[in-house]
Amino acid sequence: MNSPGLCRTFSSETGEIRQHDQKRRKPIQNAAVGINTVVAHQELESRIMTAHVCRAIVRVSVGIALVLATAASARSQTPTESSAEVRFQLDLHVSDAALAAFIPAGWSLNVGTQGPAKDANLRAIFVDRVTINGPDGKPVGKGSNRLVYLAAPVKDPSGTAAQLVIGGITEDPADVPGPFGVYLAATTHKMQRSVSAEAGPIVETQDWVFAAAGGERLEMHIKFERGTANRGNPSETRFYSAKDPRVFQISKQEQVLDILRNVTTTPPDRVKEFTFKGSGGSYAKLFDGTERSLSWDNILWINRSVLVP
């Protein structure tokens, strides 16, 4: 019988039977297993490191691609003018059916469901363009203008938010039909602002009247107490033409906004007098008496740079 831990092997070369100690062979076997384990771990670590490097390369490549795309986009934008303006923006809700007639195929309204712009599907924006300058700093045209325009919050066919300019009336005949092809020449135009500062709060009064030959008319009277106004962060918005949605401007702007009254956020109401009337011509169905004013926004100043693709 074999002794415990011993095994016999037969040699075909010598014809001898030899005995081997299994206990002595196990350390050799264990060592081989250990070496194999280390090699396997090293291979795994190498694969993991390679995967991390590949992911890092992909991230860097994507980042470079985005930077290049942004730079290319910026290079493709041509500055046309800059302006310093005073504005009053009136957020409205008008008939959805009437407004739909101005929305191009494939586009849709993008009406807010909360916040200060809740339910507003149209804005009447009264503008005093105090200065208008070209990229060289020189005045453009008369160097100043007054107008009112109508803009709707929309989504383009890709789902991107934008503003759609559907109409407007401008004081300057050279501004007709304007950059969006929808401005009418004003046969009547008036803009009057007055500020009173005595012992109490500062009180401002604004009167705007614009009328066109086709009967279109947009006018507003408001008297209010000034409050503390917020300066917003610089923003960039695309304004598209309702007549030809392939035409758009990029507006880079910064402004100081004072919300005087809002039916959703209900800040302290500082409006003392207010009337608004839109009517006539192509605007008749928009302003059929069912329109509602939702937010009264005094824009003390806005600095804009306009670019085109």
DSSP calls for 9-24:
EE-TTT--EEEEEHHH
Contact by Cβ (8 Å): 223, 194: no
CATH number for the domain formed by residue range(s) 80-308: 2.40.400
Spatial CB neighbours of 108, under 8 Å, sequence gap ≥ 6: 154, 155
CB 153 within 8 A of CB 112: yes
pLDDT in tens, 278-290: 999 999 999 999 9
Average pLDDT over residues 300-309: 96
Residue ranges covered by each domain of the chain: 1-76, 80-308
Contact 241, 248 (CB under 8 A): yes
Give the β-pairing of 161-170 and 183-196.
Answer: parallel
Has residue 77 got a pLDDT over 60? yes
Q: What is the pLDDT of residues 183-196, one digit of tens each?
A: 999 999 999 999 99
Alpha-carbon gap, residue 21 to 24, rounded angstroms: 6
Neighbours of 208 (CB within 10 A): 24
For the question of whether the overall pTM of this predicted structure is more than 0.75, the answer is yes
How many CB atoms sit inside 10 A of residue 50's CB?
10
Q: For residue range 19-63, list pLDDT tens digits in order.
A: 544 444 454 455 444 555 544 556 656 666 665 544 655 454 434
